[in-house]
Structure 1
Amino acid sequence: MSESLFKRSDFSTKILEILDHVEYRRVESSEDMEEVERLRYKAYKAHDVLALAPKGLLDDSDFDSHAYVFGLYYYGELVSTIRVHYVTPEHRLSQSGGAFPEAMDELLDAGLTLIDPARFAADPELTADMPWVPYLTLRPTIVAAAYFRADRVLQFVRPPHAAFYKRVFYADTVVPGRLAKNYGIDMTLMATNVIEVGRKLLTRYPFFISSASEQRMMFSRNPNDTLPPLTIIPTARFVPPGELGTDLPL
């Protein structure tokens, strides 16, 4: 997850170019969900964390009304997947809440709304030479923050990965690294205050920018809408230079 694999001045430009060959799919059909399950198995086995999946590779949370499962496709091939939870004081289901319930309740009792990503998995055979994959896999969390006007984007990660989220997402530590009993390993909980750093984040990493139409395609579940689109094209490339699309909360 290092920008050093690109020249720093070229980093965002290169990822914006890669967006021309990338698409997202919101996974809701049983066939696509099976493909996600296979990718999770492959990724978790390769990283020797298969036993840490506490509820199996698919669980009820994948089908929760506030959960959105995405596949990231590069030249039409699934390379990674992530599940995004929209967590509110009225709807508290989340991955982070299972490990750190007191910290999550404190945030939600304060009236905050949260974006909580879970089940990050990337194909180890396809992504070894693709250092941009973590950024674009996590991109829907920033799109979600803009769409839902959320207060925080959370990062529930292993402590060695904390520096990446602090550097890229300006994340603050909510819970320092400690044993997460339902995982059996040390985890830490971090949070990006998008109200404070949203503009800085989008300016530094313009590939996180999204249009209102892309946000709706990713996250709308309006009963008057048609079925979710098969393909969601990232819109960051289509926003005029110097503009931020639909901004994060400020």
Structure 2
Amino acid sequence: MSATSQDQASAASRFAVTLIDLLDRVQYRRVSLEEQFDPVYRLRYEAYRREEFVPINSQRVTRDDYDNAANCYSFGVYIDGTLVSSIRFHHVTPDDPTSPGRSVWPEVLGPILEHGDSYIDPSRFTADHEASLAFPALPYLTLRIIAMACEHFEARYCISSVRPEHAAFYKRIFGSKQLGDERYFAELTFPMCLYAAEVPIIRDRVADRYPFFMSTAEERENLFGPDHRAVGAIAPTARMAHRLRLIETASA
């Protein structure tokens, strides 16, 4: 390994340790579909209004019909008990094809379902402005939910409807490849491109390089399972999952 490669690997390792340490202060909370004024919807509104991406509304929330879908999962991310970011995703299958991304790129995503495959469709990734400045790694902490969803639901693909200027992040971290051209979604005033990563191909590489994306089956069941309401906010288990992976690798 060259000196440059060693330096890059060392930097990645330090970054991963820092993120796992920060996860000790993080909790994830799943949003109830019945709560129309959940703080997550207000965070979305404030984030979009800050850049005038959505029109003003008197309720000061941003919701749409996709939030009510049976295959929708919305989450708030908390650091030290304060809501700092949010994200939602749809687990899209041939039996439940509801998908914000498919409404924009039907000719691209439709054939995936016709082939019998499934995908995770993340959307509404928003963050508190002050928190995004205080925690530059916030995107990783938030997207960890999506990594867990891909594992829990055994999805073939994880798609990403992203602004063109954010595409490099998804290509670098997840090896995502562009599937669709620039288009607009709903009331948003900015264009998005469609990218996708094939989960079985990138799973181990991402886990090895970014162990903070790892989780235990128990954490995933608590977040995505039918009894999530009885559990409340969930503390991440990346540290435990990483240790178990190291033990399994050493004994293999």
Please give the range of the TM-score, normalised by the shorter of the 2 chains: 0.7 to 0.9
Task: Work out whether residues 53 and 189 of structure 2, in 8 Å CA contact, stay in contact via their aligned partners in 1.
Answer: no
User: Per the alignment, do residues 80 and 185 of structure 1 end up closer, same or farther by CA in structure 2, a change over 3 Å counting?
Assistant: closer
Matched, 1:14 2:25: no
Residues 81, 195 of structure 1: alpha-carbon distance in 2 compared, 3 angstrom cutoff: same
Equivalent position to 2:239, from 225, 237, 240 = 237
- SS of the aligned residue for 2:192 comes to strand
Paired residue for 2:47?
A: 43
Alpha carbons of structure 1 residues 77 and 164: separation in structure 2 relative to 1, 3 Å: same
User: What SS does the corresponding residue of 1:239 show, helix, strand or coil?
Assistant: helix
Q: Which residue of 2 aligns with 1:95?
A: 100
Q: Which amino acid in the other structure matches residue 44 of structure 1? A: Y
Partner-residue secondary structure (3-state), 1:86: strand
Q: 1:24 aligns with which of 16, 28, 45?
A: 28
Structure 2: stretches of 5+ with no match in the other structure: 1-7, 248-252
Gap change, CA 1:51 and 1:99, over 3 Å in 2: farther
Match of residue 167 from structure 1:
172
Query: Are residues 226 and 23 of structure 1, via their aligned partners in 2, closer, same or farther at CA, if it must alter by over 3 Å?
Result: closer
Distance 1:10 1:73 in 2: 23
Q: Contact 1:80–1:137 at 8 Å: present in 2 too?
A: yes
Q: Distance in 2 between matches of 1:52 and 1:138?
A: 28
For 1:115 and 1:52, how far apart are their aligned partners in 2? 30
Q: Percent identity?
A: 37
- Aligned-pair CA distance for 1:34: 2.4
Which structure has the larger Rg? 2
Partner of residue 248, structure 1: none
So what's the TM-score if we normalise by structure 2? 0.86
Q: Taking structure 1 as reference, are residues 52 and 206 closer, same or farther at Cα in structure 2, changes over 3 Å only? A: farther
Equivalent position to 1:132, from 108, 122, 137: 137
Give the root-mean-square deviation of aligned CA atoms.
2.6
Aligned residue in 2 for 1:74: 79
Please name the residue that 2:3 is paired with: none
For residues 212 and 56 of structure 2, the distance between their equivalents in structure 1, rounded to whole angstroms, comes to 32
Structure 1 residues 14 and 192: alpha-carbon distance in aligned structure 2, compared to 1, 3 A threshold: same
Match 1:214 to one of 219, 228, 232: 219
**Counterpart amino acid of residue 30 in structure 2:** R
Residue identity in the other structure for 2:232 = L
- Does 2:202 match 1:202? no
Going by fraction, where is helix more abundant, 1 or 2?
2
Residue 111 of structure 2 aligns with which residue?
Answer: 106
User: 1:51: how far off?
Assistant: 4.0
Contact 1:115-1:153 at 8 Å conserved across structures: yes
Partner residue in 2 for 1:60: 65
Structure 2 residue aligned with 1:120? 125
CA–CA distance in structure 1, aligned partners of residues 128 and 217 of structure 2: 30
CA gap of 1:51–1:104, structure 2 versus 1, over 3 A, is farther
Per-residue deviation, residues 145-169 of structure 1 (Å, max 9, x unmatched): 1111110111001111110000011
1:143-201 CA-partner distances (Å, limit 9, x unpaired): 0111111101110011111100000111111113x233644543211111111111001
Secondary structure at 2:191 match in 1: strand
Distance 1:40 1:226 in 2: 22
Q: In the alignment, is the contact (CA less than 8 A) between 2:211 and 2:242 conserved in 1?
A: no
Which shifted more, 102-111 or 226-235? 226-235
Give the whole-Å Cα distance in 2 for the aligned partners of 1:167 and 1:153. 15
